[in-house]
Amino acid sequence: MTEKINPLDILHKYYREAPVNLNGIANDFGIAVMYADLGNNVSGAIKKDSVFGGSAGYLIIVNDKHHPNRQRFTLAHEIAHFILHKDFIGDGIKDDALYRSNLSNALERQADKLGADMLMPWRLVNKLRIEYNNDTDKIAEKLQVSKEALRILLS
């Protein structure tokens, strides 16, 4: 019998250093990550994939044409869908640039929130606030997130 892993144990393992290693998190969950041109309107997708998926059988595809900070948010958002909404994934959830998919707005907001928490865990943000004397530009750069995302978190 295999022991069930607590997702928080995996996440907290990566919350010590900035930027948070999202590829490490995905790997620990058994999710493969691929970067590809998804066009202008799709930021990313997660789907079951028995060929290209990781050990858990899931694949996240991130739009390689988007800004690197946007790619990081997309990856965190899709990992959040895996953690929170695995039963809804089926053949795939695609998120467009407006953070919409075929899921309800409530489920998308949940994935946005957990994704933001992954990118900007409070303990790490507070450590960086001390280290950089509350310089939000430097903190955002170190976390590899947009200044706006960090300002929203701190507001």
Task: Give the model's confidence band at 96: pLDDT under 50 very low, under 70 low, under 90 confident, else very high.
Answer: low
CB 74 within 8 A of CB 23: no
- The answer, yes or no, to whether residue 21 has pLDDT greater than 70, is yes
pLDDT digit string, tens, across residues 98-149: 445 555 688 889 999 999 999 999 999 999 999 999 999 999 999 999 999 9
Highest-scoring range by mean pLDDT, 1-10, 14-23, 98-107: 14-23
104 or 51, greater pLDDT: 51
CB 115 within 8 A of CB 73: yes
Domain membership of residue 88 (yes or no) is yes
Q: What percentage of the chain carries pLDDT values higher than 70?
A: 90
First to last CA, the chain: 45
Containing structural domain, residue 46: 7-154
Domain membership of residue 134 (yes or no) is yes
CA atoms within 13 A on the CB side of 15: 18
The residue whose two tokens read 């202008």 is 40
Read off the pLDDT of each residue in 2-25 and give the average, rounded to a whole number: 90
Domain membership of residue 57 (yes or no) is yes
Q: What's the number of domains the chain is made of?
A: 1
Q: How far apart are CA 35 and CA 64, in angstroms?
A: 5
Domain membership of residue 103 (yes or no) is yes
Q: Residue 87: which of 107, 112, 67 has the closest Cα?
A: 107
**Sequence-ordered strand ranges (E) for the chain:** 31-36, 42-48, 58-63, 93-96
Domain membership of residue 1 (yes or no) is no
Domain membership of residue 64 (yes or no) is yes
Domain membership of residue 139 (yes or no) is yes
Domain membership of residue 45 (yes or no) is yes
Read off the pLDDT of each residue in 69-98 and give the average, rounded to a whole number: 84
Q: How far apart are CA 51 and CA 58, in angstroms?
A: 9
Q: How far apart are CA 58 and CA 86, in angstroms?
A: 10
pLDDT of residue 139: 98
CB 97 within 8 A of CB 51: no
